Amino acid sequence: MRAIEPADVLVRNARVHTVDASRPRADAVAINGERITWVGADDEAGAHVGGATEVIDAGGRTVLPGFIDSHNHVRLGSNPLEVDLKGARTLEELRARVRAHADAHPDDRWIEGTGWNYGAMPGSLPTWRDLDGLTGGRPAFLLSFDAHNAWMNREAMAAFAITRETDAVPFGRVQKDPEGEPTGFVTDFAVMGIGRAGQAALAGVMPGYARETQYERTLASLDMAAAFGITTIVEPQNSPDDLWIFERARREGRLRSRLVAAMYHPVGTTEAERREFEAARARLDDDHLRVGPIKLYIDDVVEPWTAAFSDPYANRPETRGELFWEPEAFADLLTDLERRGFACHIHSIGDRGIRTVLDAVEAARRANGPGDRRHTMIHVECPAPKDLPRFAELGVIAGMQPRHAGPDITESWRANVGPERESWAWPWRSLRDAGATLAFSSDWNVTEMDPMVGVYSALTRASLDGTGAWTTQQTVDLETAIAAYTMGGAIVCRAEGDRGSITPGKYADLVVLSDDLFALRNEPRTILDVRVERTIVGGRTI
């Protein structure tokens, strides 16, 4: 009988939820090097203890696979210079926060902010007039909570040379009033501002986008991810110019979680830039830092009426939103990217945008033949019910963010789509039941990074105070939510052979929680109090 090799690390006295159907529950996990070597019962764990074994007594707490946050903008969150506008319910509250921040920071050259919600101004969009007189003559640049739109005062427009002749700037499209004057509202920031040209334009003017500030804010987000038990991050929107941030963090020992960087392909991307993506993929291709998928947009977002629907918006019958790509051109693009070996992560919100993507995947399959393409549609906020079975049929992953459905942040969303389409909203359960792979994520810093917030939201579709639950027929159970935050993310990353479950042979990417999640499932608000007490990546506590 072969002797058991002592473990380097042994986690025991745990409630191990493995996300492995062959052994769903266990009490102990043995680790040698970076890999799990044994999973089993606590009364057998002693055989794995040697003189040098680090024994971690979990004290009966839940142990899960490390969380895989498959859509997390770690490069863009954590700006230490900004005013936090999240949770402000009215325009007056937004104005008060901006004024207070400006008064408290008299030496700041710019007033930068993020997090304002469209619901604070129901039925309308803000203008420069709403910021007039608040900043002591300094420019103000405030991003919406979804980072899709920017709101500026007169001074900021002057800094970017925005006049009535300006239709667009590198970071978005300038909106104008009926007289042709710019309103201070710039759309398409997420589509243009997070791209190469947009980031360069911002970095040249705004302190929060300067090179060292970008690095420091990324480090803060990476530290947050480690504290929340996120062992793999998919950073969803980068140009080759951004990769130095992650490479430097790795050199300096600050990239403790694994990271997959998606390369952003906006409209107008050239063949030379596509070759840059291929070169970056070849250069960064290991299990700690990898360039992976291509990020695309098919449409925008619901709140400013820019996501693409088949029928008009309920409260703006003159529009049904727009596609960024004509359907045939998008299908050709997806077909080409497949041939280059890229999976795509595609921002898809309205039912027309979602159907266009599914049609493109189908066209690419006809052109390229069957295969494991591993495309992910991101957000999938309002698909038509008849399209739900196509996700499983085409092998398309539904990359969704449970917190996005929170009733405290969807007031404008619901008013815009109207009651007839409300039942289509974020259909997690219907997609799961139709056989689709669900991959949950935070979309930090659009919403909270903490996976416990996502798990709670998936179980309740309620606000964080427990109120307002809606379309509860689309909630999912705890097992589904955990699998979507672990194995679902591993499938997105083509890493299900190495991550996503606590299985011998896989990387020892684990989290120890402060409480037993399964004892709290009938009181889901208590899940919000659960903390990650230990995060382990590759057998090492980070």
Q: What is the DSSP string of 366-409?
A: HHH-S-----EEEE--S--GGGHHHHHHHT-EEEE-GGGG-TTS
According to the model, what pLDDT value does residue 2 have?
Answer: 58
Give CATH for domain 1-65+502-542.
2.30.40.10
A 10 A CB-CB count for 128 gives: 20
SS (H, E, C) 456-500: HHHHHCCCCCCCCCCCHHHCCCHHHHHHHHCHHHHHHCCCCCCCC
Q: Which residue has the tokens 């300096």?
A: 252
- Residue identified by tokens 């039941």 is 433
Round to the nearest angstrom and report the end-to-end CA distance of the chain: 36
Name which of 451, 441, 458 is nearest 70 in CA terms: 441
Domain 86-144+149-187 adopts which CATH fold?
Diaminopimelate Epimerase; Chain A, domain 1 (3.10.310)
Write out the E strands in 120-204: 140-144, 149-152, 168-169, 172-176, 182-187
* Longest CA pairwise span in the chain (Å): 87
233 φ/ψ angles, rounded to the nearest 5 degrees: -115, 135
Say if CB 528 and CB 453 are below 8 A apart: yes
For 462, the token pair is: 């309620």
- Beta carbons of 434 and 391 less than 8 angstroms apart: yes
Which parts of the chain have pLDDT scores under 70?
Answer: 1-2
Q: How far is Cα 148 from Cα 144, in angstroms, rounded to an integer? A: 6
Strands in 153-204 per DSSP E: 168-169, 172-176, 182-187
- The span from the CA of 357 to the CA of 331, in Å, is 8
Return phi, psi of residue 112, to 5°.
-105, 145
Domain 69-73+210-499 has CATH 3.40.50.720: no
**Hey, is 170 helix, strand or coil?**
coil
CA distances from 301 to 45, 170, 215, 278, 320 (A): 51, 19, 28, 29, 11
How far apart (Å, rounded) are the C-alpha atoms in residues 213 and 201? 15
- Condensed to tens digits (0 to 9), the pLDDT of residues 145-192 reads 888 899 999 999 999 999 999 999 999 999 999 999 999 999 989 888
Is the backbone peptide bond immediately before 238 cis, with ω within 30 degrees of 0? no
Which residue in this structure is represented by tokens 């987000």? 221
Phi-psi group of 401: left, alpha or beta (phi > 0 → left; psi -120 to 50 → alpha; rest → beta): beta
The domain ranges of the chain are 1-65+502-542, 69-73+210-499, 86-144+149-187
The dihedral built from the CA positions of residue 478, 480, 483 and 488, taken in this order, carries a sign that is negative
Helices (H), 257-387: 271-283, 327-339, 351-368
The token duo for 307 is 């996501």
CB 206 within 8 A of CB 141: yes
pLDDT tens-digit map of 55-104: 999 999 999 999 999 999 999 887 878 999 998 999 999 999 999 999 99
What is the per-residue pLDDT for 123? 84
Residues 6+ apart with CB under 8 A from 251: none
Which pLDDT does position 1 carry in this prediction? 42
- Cβ pair 51, 6 in contact under 8 A: yes
